[in-house]
Structure 1
Amino acid sequence: MLLRLALELLCIITSVTSDRYQLVPRPLDSVIPERFYEQNGRVNQPPLITLTEPETIQNEPLYMLIIVRSSSHHFQRRDAIRLTWGNVSDTAEGRVSLVFVVGKSADPTVHSLLLLESQQHKDLLYVGFEDTYANLTLKDLAVFQYARKLMAHCQYLAIAGDEIVLDISGVVQFLADAYDDVAINQHQSEGVRELSICYEFPCCTPVIRENSSKYLVQNGYYEGTLYPSYCSGTFFVIHMGLVGEIYNMMLDTPFFMPDDVWLGIIYQKLGNRVIPNKDYWFLNTIMNPGVLSRINIPDQK
């Protein structure tokens, strides 16, 4: 009896602590301001308020969970995704499920429609903070908070915007060929931590300080003049085994925008290596929603 209780306690402790991270010291030549490496306890506090959670995902094995970041009023985009590229569940490597994450709307009509949409499709992660550009970092935190619950049942997490058409079969085939569990475990045994397969913006992009720009960053949020390398937020893939570490690092890293740069800082604090990939599986569909193909994006140097 005592042995069983001890084993159960060990399982509880392991489940709580297994996704803690080891902070990599800040390199002397890093462009990231020192304050992002200061550990003074958690600066961002969970839990986030969730109004509805998807009912389409149970405790079933998944090869990939795709979470689409969508604005609350983008009803037509979500419907278009459900009818086209998002209408995929079975692939050669396993099941794929898709979830939309949306923020709260101040418009009561939009709020009511979101609740109806959630009841109808059961695929909305509807979080209780305002859906604004300034809150995109909060939305990222909500994505990882939710994905963390599914770590034991899923192999990959993909994050996308709602403005794209995605070739899911191309993504799955790429992962199966080049970055399956065997390859990732081999790299980890060699001391290489692979985090994200994405289009990488290399260091060192200048920080925008123009007051008229949507991407203005005040000195109080980011004191440096250059950004580190980071993944394009339009679409990227993460091995699910790292989601817990990323989530906890998010809680210990001050928020600021742009959110994809913030995630880039988190990657570097964890010592993870981004896998740059120029062969993209999506098209921006705002101007041409009828096209679905793989495209090649040239190096940005």
Structure 2
Amino acid sequence: MKKFSYLRRTRITKRGYDVTVTVLFKIFLAFLFGVVIGFNIKDLMIRTCSSIAPRKPISYGVAKLDLMLSPKFTELPEKFLTNIPPENATFAFTLRPWKYVARHKTNKSQYFMTFLVKSAAWLSLRRFFVRKTWGSVDTINGHRFGLIFIVGSTTNEEQQKLLEQENAMYGDILQCDVIDDYINLPRKVLSAFQWVTYEGGNISDYYVTTDDDCSINIPTSYDYFVTNKTQKLEYLHCGYIYDKDNKPVRNPKSKYGMPPSIYPYAAYPTFCHGGMTVMSYTILRDLYMTSQVTNYANFHLEDVLITGILREKKYNSSKMVVPKGYNGWGGSIRRNELLVWHMGTARRLDVAFEARWRRICSGLRILFVDDTLFGKQPSAAWLNATLRGVPSLPGKTLTETMFEFGGKWKQLRRSRVGAKEVVVRTVAEEKEEEKHVE
């Protein structure tokens, strides 16, 4: 009987059963009441927030969301695909490369390569470094090379006069009416494309965009692009870095930061990094014309925009963008040699330019005789090259001329109009000037 006492103590009486059901029913009603009140509060909060800051929901659709997450490029955002009303000759030019044009008219021969060097008005020292080294080559085996520096607008009359003095001596500056900063770099490069399209004309086999802190390996570039020339003119060549499925940088503090509002997808189209891009006149003209009907406002990455987005919109194919050595192509000499060296991180750019120039010369076994280069590649044909003369100021050497221009630019950039500084100088620009001006 003892073992059943537990059961007797836990047995539920009729009255106890009624109490238990009543408690459970009350709990259920409380839960139901809480759910109803919760949904009403949520609805009230949504209505209140919507009335304070009404926003139209953004719907990309399932396919667009996939593109925003996909690690590989598939198509361009609708913003770039949609055409806008075309604009013709949107840029104006203050200075033109008169010697480049005159040389073509005098010789009545096609340029083999024209280098469009991205610079800035105040970076005169870099332009001199280029003119003294690889930019001094005029011809190789009778193939002529052209040199044009692309710069933007100046901020006062004194700066403009100094730039005009430089162009009067060298005739290799194309100045457009674009603010000279990184954000406007795409517009500055496209302004040069406009000048080539409407004024310069089809007077060069290849057009090469590069930077003023790059050194072009002229002999290797000549050898590479003179070989299989007919086929190579149909492609856009990445002389520096070929990039496929590159992801946008979303950090707003980064120089390369790209917000989703400007480019929402997770991958860029295939493009060439800005150190060196080689194209024919036809491709250059097509890219410029495409830019005229494309809304690229606030897109500041010039290489991605021009060789990636505009190229993809025009040709709808990444196969025409190729790296060096594509399809087994190569020259007869120095097949593994770089086409360009980027020296932006060098402590002394003048020393870096000279070192690269000496390397080219020593590798070619070049002898300087009356401004003519006679170079011989190891186990290869001779390369005969002529140099352009680089004028200097009266009574001064070229080095003295270079640093006189550099010193004047340094003074002008520190000048003031009343209490207002003419140019907002960054820490990086200050350090850059201190590197080269003694």
Residue 130, structure 1, aligned to residue 194, structure 2 = no
Instruction: Render the CA deviation track for 1:155-213: whole Å, top value 9, x for unaligned.
Output: 110111000111212111101113x12x247xxxxxxx523343444332221222211
Aligned CA distance change for structure 1 residues 252 and 93 (closer, same or farther; 3 Å): farther
Amino acid at match of 2:224: F
Structure 2 portions without partners, runs of 5+: 1-66, 68-72, 326-336, 347-351, 361-438
Residue 79, structure 1, aligned to residue 128, structure 2 = yes
Among candidates 148, 154, 168, match of residue 119 of structure 1? 168
Shift in Å, 1:108: 4.3
Structure-1 separation of matches of 2:181 and 2:196: 21
Structure-1 separation of matches of 2:275 and 2:253: 23
Instruction: Render the CA deviation track for 1:67-100: whole Å, top value 9, x for unaligned.
Output: 1110111111101111111001111251111011
User: Aligned ranges for residues 14-163 of structure 1 at < 5 Å?
Assistant: 30-42=74-86, 46-58=89-101, 59=105, 60=108, 61-92=110-141, 94-148=143-197, 149-163=199-213
Alpha-carbon RMSD across the aligned residues, in angstroms, is 2.2
Residue 276, structure 1, aligned to residue 305, structure 2 = no
Aligned CA distance change for structure 1 residues 201 and 62 (closer, same or farther; 3 Å): closer
SS of equivalent to 1:51: strand
Shift in Å, 1:31: 4.5
SS of equivalent to 1:291: helix
Structure-2 separation of matches of 1:117 and 1:138: 23
Structure-2 separation of matches of 1:130 and 1:171: 32
Relative to the length of structure 1, the TM-score reads 0.78
SS of equivalent to 1:175: helix
Q: Answer whether contact 2:236 2:277 (CA < 8 A) is retained.
A: no
Amino acid at match of 2:221: V
Instruction: Render the CA deviation track for 1:4-28: whole Å, top value 9, x for unaligned.
Output: xxxxxxxxxxxxxxxxxxxxxxxx9
Aligned CA distance change for structure 1 residues 289 and 62 (closer, same or farther; 3 Å): closer
Instruction: Render the CA deviation track for 1:226-276: whole Å, top value 9, x for unaligned.
Output: 212110111111012322211101112222121111011111122251121
Structure-1 separation of matches of 2:242 and 2:223: 24
Of 77-86 and 238-247, the range deviating more from structure 2:
238-247
Among candidates 262, 281, 285, match of residue 240 of structure 1? 281
Shift in Å, 1:134: 0.7
Residue 291, structure 1, aligned to residue 355, structure 2 = yes
Amino acid at match of 2:99: T
Structure-2 separation of matches of 1:151 and 1:274: 23
For the pair shown, the structure with the greater C-alpha radius of gyration is 2
Structure-1 separation of matches of 2:165 and 2:100: 19
Structure 1 portions without partners, runs of 5+: 1-27, 186-192, 295-301
Structure-2 separation of matches of 1:166 and 1:202: 20
Aligned CA distance change for structure 1 residues 83 and 248 (closer, same or farther; 3 Å): same
Structure-2 separation of matches of 1:152 and 1:129: 24
Q: Answer whether contact 1:64 1:156 (CA < 8 A) is retained.
A: yes
Shift in Å, 1:138: 0.6
Shift in Å, 1:50: 0.4
Q: Answer whether contact 1:65 1:98 (CA < 8 A) is retained.
A: yes
Ranked by relative contact order (alpha carbons within 8 Å, sequence separation 6 or more), the top structure is: 1
Structure-1 separation of matches of 2:211 and 2:154: 18
Structure-1 separation of matches of 2:256 and 2:314: 25
Structure with greater strand share of residues: 1
The runs of 4+ residues in structure 1 deviating greater than 6 Å are none
Shift in Å, 1:218: 2.6
Relative to the length of structure 2, the TM-score reads 0.55
Q: Answer whether contact 2:239 2:340 (CA < 8 A) is retained.
A: no
